Structure 1
Amino acid sequence: MVHFSKVAVVAAALAGSAIAHPGEHHDLDDIKQQVKARDQMASVAKRSLNNCPSSLKHRELTARAVARRSTIAKDLREKRGIQTKAKKFRRDLATLEAYEAVNHNMTGVYHYTPATPEATIFSANTSCILSPEVTDGPYYILGELVRKNVTEGQPGIPLYLEAQYIDITTCLPVPELYVDIWNCNATGYYSGVVANGNEVGWDSTFLRGVQPTDEEGVASFETIFPGHYEGRAIHTHLLVHDNVTVMDNGTFQGGAVTHIGQLFWNEELRSAAEAVYPYTTNTQAITSNAEDMWSIVQAENDFDPFPEYMYLGDSIEDGLLAWIQIGVNVTADYTDDDYYSVAATLQADGGHENTESPFTRGGDMGNGTAPGNGTAPPS
């Protein structure tokens, strides 16, 4: 029997601390303005997406997505030799209630029989924008390799992540987008940068890569569940370029920046992950979703930055399958926006710092605070 859980997170105001990525400093008044702009964009996009469920082509797209995710789950379980039954954990935005502020582990468990339709398990909410437009942070690197598996041997809980991009005006998938992914490792450190508290190195590339979306608008990655660091809730970065030039060396150049987003993970999942090695060795302070400076749950039904996910086996150590649909405005270009910041460029001879970035060693880092005493992993 498959067990399901419904987990909610509480809406919260901006955190009092301005600490974010290691070496980063933000002005809270500026953040409030960006959050307000983000919420307005999300509200407009949601109105566009509200018509999606009534579209025949979109319903057909959803049916194909259900079948695809079901097949991926079965293939991953078979590949890893998992015999125990999978678990699906579902959230419901309608449960963003005040009682959650009292008990962040208020969980309803549902039992289904093997006859439960796959659509109940593998569907995704298309009635709202599923990833807010937020800053890409100070650690975006240009020139990463086009590759699906980005782990490079980094220890942690295996995560297969599927991001499907939907045009907010047509409700149809958007092919040929190039999607950058990056997140910190299990102990809270990023590859590819050198900044106060993050000394991993310019030439490192773990947990970074690029995938093009296929005809279904899907880009998939094999990565690990991210760790935490002080000042930010656990998150995964996704940044999308359109109309790029693909190079012979397995990278791309140019193109418009169509979407900048961050995915977040609920507190129940974070707690389960951090009970597992090597997450248990992370000595940095934990920031909850409710405390995150970007107020990720503040817009409630206007956007949903939390992927659907399932345990591939009985234990989180067996790995996770997660998926999310992201509404995009294909005419947008954030290349010149304050949201978009490039820390370095990876070239044939290694990583090169963008000395104009305010967040890396060559720039003015402000009074950012180092993230605790964890030890940076080898690259």
Structure 2
Amino acid sequence: MALKSLLSSLLLAPLALAHPGHKEAVHAHRALPLERRSLDHCSKEFNSPEFIQRTVEINGAEIKRLRRALGYEVDEKPKITPRDYLSVSRIDHKSNKTVTEGMDLSTLFSNYGACMLMPVVDEGPLYVKGEEIRKNITNGERGIKMTLAIQVVDYKTCQTVPNAYVDIWSSNATVSYPGMGDPNDASILKGTTLRGVQPTDSHGVASFDTMFPGHYDGRATHIHAIVWLGATKHANNTLTGGRAAHIGQIYFDQGLITAAERNAPYNTNRMPIQQNTRDFLFQAGANGDDPIVRYSFIGKDVSEGLFAWIRFGINQQTSRPLNPAAYWTANGGVMNPTGPISKLPGGGGGGGGWPGFGGGWGKRFAEKLGRKVEAEAELQEDAE
């Protein structure tokens, strides 16, 4: 007991010396917060583009103030270090986020701190304008199911863009673009599989139930997308008017592509797989931003389905010219007589897929578009 009393006296001694003549209780120095609560519930707000941008602006202003006080020159222009396609290709885009039914999809984008302008490319040779507004675009197509969420933000303000329309299309697992192909085959133009339009919600998010796309010679595995602003929705569930503010392509991790291609019917495709880093358009798109989707498995592996998401930073003042291959009407597809397919020798050929698959036409088209993208990017840099 004597030893215990001595230890208590020694522990209390510093407190008595620090506050001579004051009888403050010891527990007062161990005061607890009035309310025990973390800020985890604020993660959505703290990770919002607006919050992040404002935080960066405030902290950056303080750093500039301190550097000026020390006599350093301060560059007033924000420094953004662009990514390059090789570093982008090395990123593992598989997310540890759990995707649940009915969740707020905007929470998936919390790890997208930046909102850079997504690279704009050509719409490609197989765009059909006027597709229906619908979420599920699979039409019973065989392949790996994938829900794709695309968030649209203004790259200058980092504000989300509601009431836009996102238009996507892609090849199927066995390498055809349903709804487009030989203009002499009327049945081809009746298809709408893996094509559709969705509006962005109040968080700027549009989502589709689609399939993981297949690969073909000359191009990396990809999905095409257009963002429409100011378009009018009609009673027949289609759009007219508006302007194309963004035309882009979406890509996937090479490891994910390899895993997907082991499954049927993808494994029946004997064409060589084009690596992302060897795709001219991927190089153009990934030299500046990251056009590869984040994703999460729905089940144990890719065969049971994917949830994928990506953010588009767009310039809302942009209006991109378009020359579709065909137009979707109430009576089916109608070829555009001045479109890219009609201009091909023999009217396209190919009998149901992208014409000229075996002859490297896809590669030549990609290289042509890549040169066009580079030239436009240089003009944009000069203008800024």
Output the TM-score relative to the length of structure 2.
0.63
Please name the residue that 1:55 is paired with: 54
SS at the partner of 2:210? strand
Q: Determine if the alignment matches structure 1 residue 190 to structure 2 residue 177.
A: yes
| C-alpha deviation, 1:227, in angstroms | 0.1
Q: Distance in 2 between matches of 1:225 and 1:53?
A: 32
Deviating above 4 A after TM superposition, structure 1's stretches of 4 or more consecutive aligned residues are 93-98, 106-112, 119-122, 196-200, 361-369
Correspondent of 2:326 among 331, 338, 344 = 344
Please name the residue that 2:310 is paired with: 324
Q: 1 or 2, which has the higher helix percentage? A: 2
Change over 3 Å in CA distance of 1:111–1:295 after alignment to 2:
closer
Change over 3 Å in CA distance of 1:311–1:133 after alignment to 2:
same
Correspondent of 1:231 among 193, 197, 218 = 218
Change over 3 Å in CA distance of 1:293–1:369 after alignment to 2:
farther
Task: Please show how residues 237-252 of structure 1 align to structure 2 within 5 Å.
Answer: 237-252=224-239
Any conservation in 1 of the 2:323–2:340 contact (CA below 8 Å)?
Answer: no
Question: How many positions carry a matched residue from both structures?
Answer: 275
Change over 3 Å in CA distance of 1:320–1:330 after alignment to 2:
same
Please name the residue that 2:262 is paired with: 275
Any conservation in 2 of the 1:193–1:360 contact (CA below 8 Å)?
Answer: no
Change over 3 Å in CA distance of 1:298–1:197 after alignment to 2:
farther
| C-alpha deviation, 1:171, in angstroms | 0.9
Any conservation in 2 of the 1:240–1:258 contact (CA below 8 Å)?
Answer: yes
* Letter paired with 2:112: N
Task: Please show how residues 1-379 of structure 1 align to structure 2 within 5 Å.
Answer: 53-55=52-54, 96=86, 123-129=110-116, 131-195=118-182, 201-296=188-283, 299-300=286-287, 302-335=288-321, 340-360=322-342, 370-372=356-358
Please name the residue that 2:35 is paired with: none
Change over 3 Å in CA distance of 1:361–1:194 after alignment to 2:
farther
* Letter paired with 2:53: S
| C-alpha deviation, 1:170, in angstroms | 1.5
| C-alpha deviation, 1:187, in angstroms | 0.9
RCO comparison, higher one (Cα < 8 Å, 6+): 1
Change over 3 Å in CA distance of 1:299–1:248 after alignment to 2:
closer
| C-alpha deviation, 1:345, in angstroms | 0.6
Deviation string 1:13-49 (CA, Å, 9 cap, x unpaired) is xxxxxxxxxxxxxxxxxxxxxxxxxxxxxxxxxxxxx
Change over 3 Å in CA distance of 1:197–1:284 after alignment to 2:
farther
Q: Distance in 1 between matches of 2:190 and 2:266?
A: 24
Q: Distance in 2 between matches of 1:107 and 1:140?
A: 30
SS at the partner of 2:208? strand
Q: Distance in 2 between matches of 1:122 and 1:167?
A: 14
* Letter paired with 2:323: S
| C-alpha deviation, 1:315, in angstroms | 1.5
Q: Distance in 2 between matches of 1:108 and 1:346?
A: 35
Q: Distance in 1 between matches of 2:295 and 2:355?
A: 33
Deviation string 1:137-176 (CA, Å, 9 cap, x unpaired) is 0111111110000000001111110000011122110011
Structure showing greater Rg: 2
**Structure 1: runs of 5+ lacking an equivalent:** 1-49, 59-92, 113-118, 374-379
SS at the partner of 2:147? strand
SS at the partner of 1:296? helix
Q: Distance in 1 between matches of 2:95 and 2:162?
A: 36
SS at the partner of 2:246? strand
**Structure 2: runs of 5+ lacking an equivalent:** 1-48, 58-82, 98-105, 360-384
Q: Distance in 2 between matches of 1:108 and 1:228?
A: 19
Any conservation in 1 of the 2:260–2:302 contact (CA below 8 Å)?
Answer: yes
Q: Percent identity?
A: 38
